[in-house]
Amino acid sequence: MTSSVSVDEHAARIGRMLAPLLMARASEVVPLTDALGRTTADDVRSAVDLPLFRNSQMDGYAVRASDIETVPIALEVSGDVPAGHTVPVVLTPGTAIRIMTGAPVPAGADAIVPVEDAELVLGRDDDLAGSIVEVRRSRRAGEYVRERGSDLHRGDVIVPLGTRLAPRHLAALAAAGVGEVRVLAPLRVGIITTGSELVRGDRPAQFGQVFDANGIALAALSEDAGAVVGYRGTSDDDPASFEGVLADAIAASDLILTSGGISKGAFEVVREVLEPRGAEVCTVAMQPGGPQATAIVDGVPIICFPGNPVSTQVSFTVFLRGILRRAAALPDIPVRQVPLADALTSVAGKRQFLRGRQLPDGRVEQASGPSSHLVAGMARSDVLIDLPADAEQVAAGADVTVWTL
């Protein structure tokens, strides 16, 4: 006898079952070049000040502000500091030193005169010996000088724990000389599709056989949600076959997903094997996706979805996508309220997840029939229209809840 539960009750059960998995996470150290999209497992602190040294914000001339209080004024150009100049330079008071953006400000200088406010009146750009520069605008002490540590101090957190690393984070880490970073290991999802009707390997389908759509769907959905596929296999409807595949999946996965084999038929292999091991098999009051189950075998949580390809994909989206995305620090994909283009009828007593399509005007329309075998219809849709269990008629123009696929 299976219990009948609501979508919310089943979602809560799965949430409770997976909570320990999300709390104790393995981590690994990766080079920065492999870290895009990974999630930091620690606060990453800087070993240096940023900027590393006091440097110029402009191409121009380093001076003492007190020497250019009256302008215009002609100053001897006593030196040159191109970017990348690694020898500290000292400014002779009453002179100017040509400087490039990012180059170290000479000791004794406290302001930069941008090149736009200065003109070489004697000498040449490519030979500064004996040059004279005329400064045409005064600058206060500190102007166009970037102080050491003005962006970040040594010991400061560059990127906090739990950050999904975007390009701007990698740039800041690289700027601080960080070459590698400790990130969360992604959750390893094991995927088992079941059914003696599934074509095995790269063969044509015989009469009565179908190609497996659920294996690649669950793998792609898991990867899209930030997990990695630790194992992927297929079992026929023989319990010994499923037992073998399950053992391999358990060895390679933090979490296992199965499709098929849990309804009321005569050859329900997932149910046959897992129910004696304590699986909770239930009927969720939803369409598609009624038969569902959960189990924990050898400490590994197993989420069992029904086998119709639309049911499998809808079940993943409703019950697992949010949890996996949170585990990977991916942003939630919130449900939205959107007006319905055309009236819909629904089946009372079961929450409906109809395949829908967003129209350019922002409304949503049904994109495919409700039957759970319409896998091509699912491909033509881009949202699920979520109708409550008590809905029977929904009028055109009424707001409905949609899940973005």
Whose Cβ is closer to a second copy: residue 16's or residue 154's?
A: 154
Q: How far is the CB of 262 from a second copy (least distance, A)?
A: 11
* Options 132-140, 198-206, 336-344, 392-400: segment touching a second copy (CB under 8 A): 198-206
Within 248-307, which residues bind a second copy (CB under 8 A)? 263-267, 307
* Options 20-28, 101-109, 273-281, 390-398: segment touching a second copy (CB under 8 A): 101-109
Which residue in this structure is represented by tokens 């999946």?
249
Q: Is 221 among the residues that bind a second copy (CB under 8 A)?
A: yes
Cα angle 383-387-393, degrees, rounded to a multiple of 5: 120
DSSP letter string, 322-336: HHHHHHTTPPP---E
Q: What are phi and psi of 18, to 5 degrees?
A: -90, -10
One of 66, 345, 371, 393 touching a second copy (CB under 8 A): 371
Whose Cβ is closer to a second copy: residue 170's or residue 296's?
A: 170
Contact predicate 306/315, CB 8 Å: yes
Closest CA to 220 of 369, 378, 374: 378
Within 126-185, which residues bind a second copy (CB under 8 A)? 126, 146, 150-152, 156, 158-159, 166-177, 179
Q: How far is the CB of 116 from a second copy (least distance, A)?
A: 8
> Residues 199-218: x/- map of binding to a second copy (CB under 8 A)?
x--x-xxxxxxxxxxxxxx-
Q: Is 46 among the residues that bind a second copy (CB under 8 A)?
A: yes
d(CA 334, CA 404): 8
Whose Cβ is closer to a second copy: residue 13's or residue 373's?
A: 373
Contacts of 70 (CB under 8 A, 6+ apart): 138
DSSP letter string, 103-150: SBPPBT--EEEEGGGEEEEEEETTEEEEEEEEE-S---TTTTEE-TTS
One of 365, 366, 373, 401 touching a second copy (CB under 8 A): 373
Q: Is omega for the bond preceding 204 within 30 degrees of 0, making it cis? A: no
Q: How far is the CB of 212 from a second copy (least distance, A)?
A: 6
Whose Cβ is closer to a second copy: residue 368's or residue 394's?
A: 368
One of 284, 375, 383, 400 touching a second copy (CB under 8 A): 375
Q: How far is the CB of 51 from a second copy (least distance, A)?
A: 6
Contact predicate 113/96, CB 8 Å: yes
Whose Cβ is closer to a second copy: residue 57's or residue 297's?
A: 57
| Residues paired with 282 in a beta bridge | 3, 292
Q: Is omega for the bond preceding 72 within 30 degrees of 0, making it cis? A: yes
Whose Cβ is closer to a second copy: residue 116's or residue 390's?
A: 116
